[in-house]
């Protein structure tokens, strides 16, 4: 990316124009197919069956363009989030380089006082992360993951709990849960397993955090136990995956005994369609006991507790 550009940011039109020199693709020759992991569920036109409808071609165009732009600038949705607010406070997401390959970051999350009313605060939880955008946008940290990590840290110990994180990416939220004493499974698709394993080792949590492949919409592997708590952050971003994520949540949550903490950043109008699907099996309430809520709400981030109907 041209560092001389104001704030290191390119517009969508400029990014499209960059496609030819950076990827060898001309805008008119974009591959409009879905990413490989979804092709089995949305086969090419002519291979359709009634059970596997093909998305509308304009939806596919939008999705393909979104993915190409994300490849060129993985942080394009977040660029404004690093600015100070009008009151001078810094927003949730720390600045990360626009081109991220095999880099390391350190994030700290502050605990609440062990006893209400006391001023002595336990040491913060520090997580060391390897971040790498080459396997996809899941290989870097995103705002809702940090919000959820901060919230569970303030809530305190998870000792004795079985915790499952969906769409873990770097594994950030699950690693925080591991530091809090939980037995954790961090899950995502195959391309992200290596980066999660590296991060488990970096944080010396191999005894309490397990890395597992879990593709939304597919049967839950027998190796993944029934969780007491499900954590999901920044999972609402790719519309064809919405029904798959809802199916996985439905399969995992049999009744109200499993708690689900769900954090997401609203980026597109299409996000509403996810909640239209979700409400068939779940109800939800906003988390109101987070002292940081007012700050991240200004960035269109919501933290919810889901309950099975």
Q: Please give the Cα distance from 201 to 189 (Å, whole number).
A: 19
Q: Does 114 show up as a binding residue in the annotation?
A: no
Q: What are the residues whose beta carbons fall under 8 Å from the beta carbon of 104, sequence distance 6 or more?
A: 128, 129, 130, 131
Q: Does 168 show up as a binding residue in the annotation?
A: yes
Q: Does 73 show up as a binding residue in the annotation?
A: no
Q: Does 167 show up as a binding residue in the annotation?
A: yes
Q: Does 185 show up as a binding residue in the annotation?
A: no
Q: What are the residues whose beta carbons fall under 8 Å from the beta carbon of 160, sequence distance 6 or more?
A: 181, 182
Q: Does 24 show up as a binding residue in the annotation?
A: no
Q: Which of 180, 156, 158, 178 is nearest to 168 (CA)?
A: 178
Phi–psi pair at 15, nearest 5 degrees: -65, -40
Q: Does 284 show up as a binding residue in the annotation?
A: no
* Distance, CA of 44 to chain centre: 27
- 7-15 contacts: CB < 8 A, separation 24 or more? 7/79, 8/98, 9/73, 9/76, 9/79, 9/98, 10/72, 10/73, 10/76, 12/69, 15/68, 15/69, 15/72, 15/73, 15/76
Please list the residues that pair with 77 across neighbouring strands. none
Q: Which amino acids are annotated as binding site, given as ranges?
A: 142, 167-169, 188, 216, 233
Q: Which amino acids are annotated as binding site for S-adenosyl-L-methionine, given as ranges?
A: 142, 167-169, 188, 216, 233
């Amino acid at each position: 990316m041209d560092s001389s550009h104001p704030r290191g940011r390119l517009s969508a039109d400029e990014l499209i124009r960059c496609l030819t020199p950076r990827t060898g693709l001309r805008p008119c020759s974009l591959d409009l197919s879905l990413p490989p992991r979804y092709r089995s569920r949305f086969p090419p036109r002519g291979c359709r069956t009634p059970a596997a409808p093909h998305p509308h071609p304009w939806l596919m165009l939008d999705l393909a363009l979104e993915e190409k732009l994300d490849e060129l600038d993985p942080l394009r949705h977040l660029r404004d989030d690093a600015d100070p607010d009008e009151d001078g406070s810094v927003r949730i997401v720390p600045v990360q380089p626009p081109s991220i390959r095999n880099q390391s970051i350190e994030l700290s999350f502050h605990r609440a006082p062990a006893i209400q009313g006391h001023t002595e605060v336990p040491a913060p939880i520090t997580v060391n992360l390897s971040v790498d955008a080459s396997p996809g946008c899941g290989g870097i940290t995103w705002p809702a993951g940090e919000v959820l990590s901060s919230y569970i840290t303030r809530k305190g110990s998870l000792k004795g709990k079985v915790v499952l994180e969906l769409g873990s990416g770097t594994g950030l939220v699950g690693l925080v849960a591991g530091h809090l004493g939980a037995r954790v499974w961090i899950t995502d698709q195959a391309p992200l397993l290596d980066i999660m394993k590296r991060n488990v080792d970096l944080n010396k949590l191999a005894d309490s955090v397990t890395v597992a492949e879990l593709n939304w919409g597919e049967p839950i592997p027998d190796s993944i136990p029934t969780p007491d708590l499900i954590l999901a952050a920044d999972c609402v971003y790719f519309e064809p995956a919405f029904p798959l994520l809802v199916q996985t949540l439905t399969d995992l949550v049999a009744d109200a005994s499993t708690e689900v903490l769900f954090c997401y950043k609203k980026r597109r109008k299409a996000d509403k369609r996810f909640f239209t699907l979700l409400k068939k099996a779940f109800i939800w309430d906003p988390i109101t006991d987070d002292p940081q809520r007012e700050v991240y709400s200004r960035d269109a981030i919501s933290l919810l507790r889901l309950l099975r109907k």
